[in-house]
Amino acid sequence: MNRRNFLQYAAAGAGATMMTPMLSGQGGVNQGVLANPHFKGKAKRVIFLTMSGGPSQFESFDYKPTLAKYHGKTIPDSYTKGQELAQLQGQKLLAFGPQFKFKKYGQSGQEICELFPHLGSVADDLAIIRSAHTDQINHDPAMTVLNTGTFLNGRPGMGAWANYALGSECKDLPGFVVMESVKGRGPQPIYSRLWHSGFLPSVYQGVKFNSKGDAVHYVRNPHGVGKDAQKELLQTINKMNKIAQGRMDDPEIATRIRQYEMAFRMQESVPQLMDVSKEPQHVLDMYGCKPGDGSFASNCLLARKLAEKGVRFIQLYHRGWDHHDGIKKWMPVCAKAVDQGAAALIKDLKQRGMLEDTLIIWGGEFGRTPMSQGGSGRDHHKLSMSMFMAGGGIKGGLTYGETDELGYKPAVDPVHVRDIHATMMHQLGIDHSKLTYRFQGLDNRLTGVEHAKVLKKLLV
C-alpha cells in the first residue's frame, strides 16, 4: 500500500481527517476508501428490488405440490414444536396449499408461479434461491436485517457500505439512490434509517428520490434566484466551511462541503434524469409504464438510467406484500405491479450490454407460513423465503437450495440474508470479511461477526 492509499484508508477507518478520501476523486467523483477492490469483481453496480411486507414464496418461486395435498390438514408438531411464530402462536395450524399454479419457463425449466409470466420470460437469466431465511419474525427488525445485516438500529445500509468501499462513478448524482412505489394490501412503512450511513461518514448515505413530481425537494430554484447568484453563494459558504474545517477537523464539515457541491450539480442532472418522455415508445411499452406515474415499473426504468449514469447502488422498494388475509385477491395485485417492470429491467440492461456488470437482487424481509391465517392468508415466516439474483456474474437458469416438503424451513443449502450480502460484496470485488469500520471499539462490517458465506455455486 502506497503512502497516499494508506493515508486515505487510515483516515476513513479512524473517522478523522475525512477531507482526504472524500475530496480525492477527480472532478468531484467520490472514489471510496478502497483505491482498488480486493479482487476483480464481475459487477460494477447493484440494483436491489426490495419487496416490502414479505412476499409469499408459495405463490412466487417455491413450488410445493406436497403442501397442496396437505391443504386443510393439521401441520405435524414435528415442524412447529418450539418454533417462533408471529400471529399464529397458540392457534390450530392448518396447512394452506399454493393458491395459484406454477409453470416451467425457459430452456432451464425454472418453476415460477403463473402470476409472474414476465419474469418467466427471463427465467434463464435468474438464479432462484428457495432456501433463504432470516432471524427476525416481525417487519421492522427483519427489514433492518435485510438492509443492514443486523436488527440493531443505527447501522449502515448495504448501499452505504458499497458506496463507502467503492464510491460512485458519477459526479452529478449520489452514489446510493432509493425510490419507492406502493400497491397492494397493508403497505408497511419504511424508514430513512434503512438507507442511512449509520456510523459511516454521512456522505455515503442513500438519497431518496421521489417517484412523482420533483425527484428531490427544492431541486429547482425559486423565482428570482439565478444560477450565477446561487453559485456565488455556494462558493462563499464553502470557503467558510473550509475555514471551519481547518480549525475543528470535523469530518462532517467535509461532508457538508461535498454535499453542497453535489446538490448544485444535481439541479442540472436530476431533471434530465427523471425526464423519460424521450424514451422510445417500445421501451415504455416493454416496462408497461407511463412517464412519471410513480409505479414500480417507472422506477425500474429510472433505475436503468441511474445505472447508465454510474450510480453504484440503486434500491427500489415496493410496498404492499403483507398478506395476512386475502392472499388470493392481493397476491395478483402485487405480482402484476412488479412483474413486468422487473423483467423489463433485466431485458433492457441485457440488450444494452449492461446486465453482465449489473447485479440485480429481488426479495423481501421474510417469507410466509405454509399454514393458513384466518383461512385466506399467511403469517410472517422467518425460516423460509424465496429470492432471486440476476446479472453481475451470476449463473442464470439455476434454482439453488430447497425447503422441506411443506416449505417450512431449508432442507438443502440454507442461505441467510447475510450470505446474500457476502455474495453481493464479492461480485463487486469486495471481501466482506475485510471491509470493516471501527466504531465504539469494534471493527464492524455489513455481514457482522457471525459466519457469512459467498454462494459460490451461483457464480459464473
Q: So what's the pLDDT on residue 39?
A: 94
Q: Supply the mean pLDDT for the chain.
A: 88
Residues 6+ apart with CB under 8 A from 160: 176, 195, 196, 197, 198, 200, 204, 205, 206
pLDDT band at 330 (very low <50, low <70, confident <90, very high): very high
CA 347/CA 300 separation, integer angstroms: 11
Report whether pLDDT(140) > 50: yes
Domains defined along the chain, listed by start: 40-215+281-458 (3.40.720)
The partner residues of 219 in beta bridges, in order of sequence, read none
Q: What's the chain's length in residues?
A: 460
What single-letter DSSP state applies at residue 33?
Answer: S
Structural element, H or E, at residue 324 = none
Write the pLDDT tens digit of every residue in 399-412. 999 999 999 999 99
**Residue in the block written with cell 432451464:** 108
Q: Which three cell numbers stand for residue 254?
A: 467535509
Write the pLDDT tens digit of every residue in 334-381. 999 999 999 999 999 999 999 999 999 999 999 999 999 999 999 999
What pTM was estimated for this model as a whole? 0.87
**Burial bucket for residue 267 (CB in 10 Å: 0-12, 13-18, 19+):** middle
Q: What is the dihedral of CA 211, 212, 213, 218, to 10 degrees?
A: -40
Radius of gyration (C-alpha) of the chain in whole angstroms? 23
Looking at residue 28, its amino acid is: G
Looking from the CA of 50 toward its CB, the CA atoms found within 13 Å total 30
Q: So what's the pLDDT on residue 186?
A: 83
pLDDT band at 131 (very low <50, low <70, confident <90, very high): very high
Residues 6+ apart with CB under 8 A from 189: none
